[in-house]
Structure 1
């Protein structure tokens, strides 16, 4: 298990937490960012899309409140690349986001793991951008015995896969 120090931690991928908290973290997964496209529109999109391909296009974005980590991550990537998608909806749950993509409302960016949901009517393509880091976090002073078991037995299984 590779613990990350505060300098390595991508706080944009964690849920909001109490300020001044003392956390330990572990990288659980690194996944590609995937573009979910309505199948009927797939021919209009590149086979190897980039963030720039989203400029001005109808886009289903993560909610700044309900899905803050992904909202912040994508907002910062769009800003860095000078990309301004046409945000048609803000959504908190990936299931709802994919349902809207399936309905033809727009496209969405999802972590590769969400492709396991297998929504019919959606084509997914890997986006040429840095991957998404999934980080687990817990309070250092947490004395729950199950946490020790989690760190010894469960976290390494994420990193081995």
Structure 2
């Protein structure tokens, strides 16, 4: 049994006769008859009652027809999707991201990617930077968008592309006196409890922020720990303390906090796209281009 036989069979059913089916398929009626005979021989029974005019489906034919139609539909879809994947226009792309990118490059990147590849299933997975390499190796994601402070470890089997490098700014409750200043110092930030994030044993991110403040003469005391940046910002908005974020985060429209430069810390955060070495998935460069349009370089 092959797809040609199944297609010929379904066309005969829909056309009402082998002659009309032959006209539809632009083949000789004898070709239709030969393919049907081979199909029936393979299945071990007749699909048509040829004693009737017009001929009708047998009970075997009635069983076979809807399933044959479904199989043809799957075959057509498989052909279409595979060609789309080969051209980089269809398929599946897993993207791991850190929560902070939802304030900045990710929403625009997703919209731009959707515009160029509307038929691609985009699987967005929120995952901390420290966990993205293993997810790449496992095939759970195809690319990761990570955020680091300072130098970061790079594995030999992965490719790292810096997309954005930016300084930190302080996040201060809108009602606090510091919110009226053009800039703040590490010492001034120590007036309020520090809100540490992300709360995860494998992430050094929070500790690196504290170290930078201490190096500038500040004495930050951790008042709260947040699992992710949204919670940290909400705690600042509630007046419970201060924190630090990358400058691009200030694009969000929170009205309960103020984003202010810190004048005496030399601290930057880097947004990095990570992929597997030698990955030939054509959707990856397409998504990278979308990231660039979203604000990353």
Q: Give the TM-score category using the shorter length.
A: 0.7 to 0.9
Report how many aligned residue pairs link the two structures.
145
Q: Which runs of 5+ in 1 are unaligned?
A: 1-13
Give the alignment's TM-score, normalised by structure 1: 0.72
Name the counterpart of 1:32. Answer: 167
Give the conservation status (yes or no) of the 8 Å contact 1:23–1:139.
Answer: yes
Flag structure 2 segments of 5+ consecutive residues without an equivalent. Answer: 1-127, 135-153
The structure where helix makes up a greater share of residues is 2
Shift in CA distance, 82/23, structure 1 to aligned 2, threshold 3 Å: farther
How far apart are the structure 1 equivalents of 2:252 and 2:176? 20
What SS does structure 2 have at the residue aligned with 1:77? helix
TM-score, length of structure 2 as denominator length? 0.42
Which residue, 107, 121, 124 being the options, matches 2:259? 124
**Cα RMSD, aligned residues only:** 2.8
Please state if 1:47 is matched with 2:182. Answer: yes
- Counterparts of residues 4-153 of structure 1 (less than 5 Å): 15-16=129-130, 17-18=133-134, 20=155, 22-43=157-178, 46-55=181-190, 57-65=192-200, 68=203, 70-128=205-263, 129-130=265-266, 131-151=268-288, 153=289
Structure with the bigger RCO (C-alpha within 8 Å, sep 6+) is 1
Distance 1:32 1:94, change over 3 A: same
Shift in Å at residue 105 of structure 1?
A: 0.5
CA distance 1:123–1:148, shift in 2 (3 Å): closer
Pick which of 41-50 and 56-65 moved more: 41-50
Task: Mark the CA change 1:88 to 1:23 in structure 2 (over 3 Å): closer, same or farther.
Answer: same
Which of structures 1 and 2 has the bigger CA Rg?
Answer: 2
Q: Matched residues in 2 for 1:156 and 1:121: separation? A: 30
Deviation beyond 4 Å, 4+ runs, structure 1:
18-21, 43-46
